[in-house]
């Protein structure tokens, strides 16, 4: 039996690692990395830095895998993502079989938390369902960009009596929820809030949260949108990638 850990390493600051994550890292023999492209090599370097800083109890090594390219077709989004997950699972399964010996421990170091908009647990379930590899896995939670956003802006995620609604840019583009006053948005490559923005809305936006390149912008959404747009363009041009998160909400109505 091989052991596998899905370790949440936070949103970009090594100090975000929990004690549980550090203990888990020190049990790992092989760290697997699904590297998407040259532009995101910085994220791979960060994972290696985490290991060099915290993995001190035993020898370890990195195995880097070229992540399968996902079809960007929009008309059948769900099936496209499912096909991509299946391709990733097959790639990871083969790597575990050849690179991780029986009795050893492998791991994926996951940005943020494995439970929030991350596919790693789905990959493990696909591998187990295929039945070709005896694999036991555990999940180690991490600090998300949502928490880092709230801390950076010094705001609670919800006002008194409000629910917390977390969604994606793709879903927000379909319309702002009628029964809510606030949404937390992740995975938004197009700043979809511009399609649903109302006069009284405010935004708390952040990019590269937890890193030395962190950017925070807040204020009335219509007023600060040009600044956010420019910050995204500048960041992407400089780094080749951008990860941003934001809280969009209506001004609090009188009770």
pLDDT digits (tens, 9 = 90+) for 79-99: 888 998 999 999 999 999 999
First to last CA, the chain: 58
**Which range marks the domain in which residue 54 is found?**
2-140
Query: Per residue in 154-207, pLDDT tens?
Result: 999 999 999 989 999 999 999 999 899 999 999 998 999 999 999 999 999 999
Q: Could you tell me whether strands 215-220 and 201-207 are parallel, antiparallel, or unpaired per DSSP bridges?
A: antiparallel
Report the pLDDT averaged over residues 109-128. Answer: 94
Question: At what angle are helices 77-99 and 120-130 packed, to 10 degrees?
Answer: 70
Measured distance CA(185)–CA(178) in Å, rounded: 16
What average pLDDT does the chain have?
92
pTM over 0.95: no
Taken in order 160, 163, 167, 170, is the CA torsion positive or negative? negative
Number of domains in the chain: 2
Q: Summarize pLDDT for 34-90 with one digit per residue, the tens.
A: 887 666 788 888 999 999 999 999 999 999 998 888 776 656 778 888 998 999 999
What 8-state DSSP symbol labels residue 10? B
Examine the fold and report which residue of 94, 120, 140 is the final residue of a domain before the chain moves on.
140
Average pLDDT over residues 98-120: 95
Q: How many CB atoms lie within 10 A of CB 40?
A: 15
Q: Is there a domain that residue 165 lies in?
A: yes
| Domain end call among 94, 114, 140 | 140
């Amino acid at each position: 039996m091989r052991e596998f850990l899905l370790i949440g390493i936070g949103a970009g600051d090594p100090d975000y690692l929990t004690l549980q994550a550090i203990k888990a890292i020190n049990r790992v023999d092989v760290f697997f990395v699904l590297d998407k492209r040259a532009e995101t090599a910085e994220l791979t370097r960060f994972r290696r830095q985490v290991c060099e800083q915290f993995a001190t109890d035993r020898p370890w090594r990195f195995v880097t895998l070229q992540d399968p390219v996902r079809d960007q077709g929009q008309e059948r989004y769900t099936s496209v993502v499912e096909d991509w997950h299946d391709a990733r699972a097959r790639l990871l399964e083969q790597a575990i079989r050849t690179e991780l010996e029986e009795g050893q421990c492998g791991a994926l170091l996951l940005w943020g938390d494995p439970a929030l908009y991350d596919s790693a647990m789905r990959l493990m379930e696909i591998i187990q369902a295929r039945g070709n590899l005896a694999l036991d896995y555990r999940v180690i939670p991490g600090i998300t960009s949502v928490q880092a956003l709230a801390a950076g802006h010094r705001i609670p995620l919800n006002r008194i009596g409000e629910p917390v609604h977390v969604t994606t840019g793709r879903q927000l583009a379909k319309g702002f929820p009628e029964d809510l006053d606030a949404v937390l948005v992740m995975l938004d490559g197009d700043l979809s809030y511009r399609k649903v923005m109302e006069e009284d809305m405010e935004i708390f936006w952040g990019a590269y949260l937890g890193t030395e390149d962190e950017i925070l912008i807040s204020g009335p959404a219509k007023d600060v949108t040009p600044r956010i747009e420019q910050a995204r363009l500048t960041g992407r041009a400089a780094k080749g990638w951008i990860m941003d998160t934001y809280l969009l909400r209506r001004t609090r109505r009188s009770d």
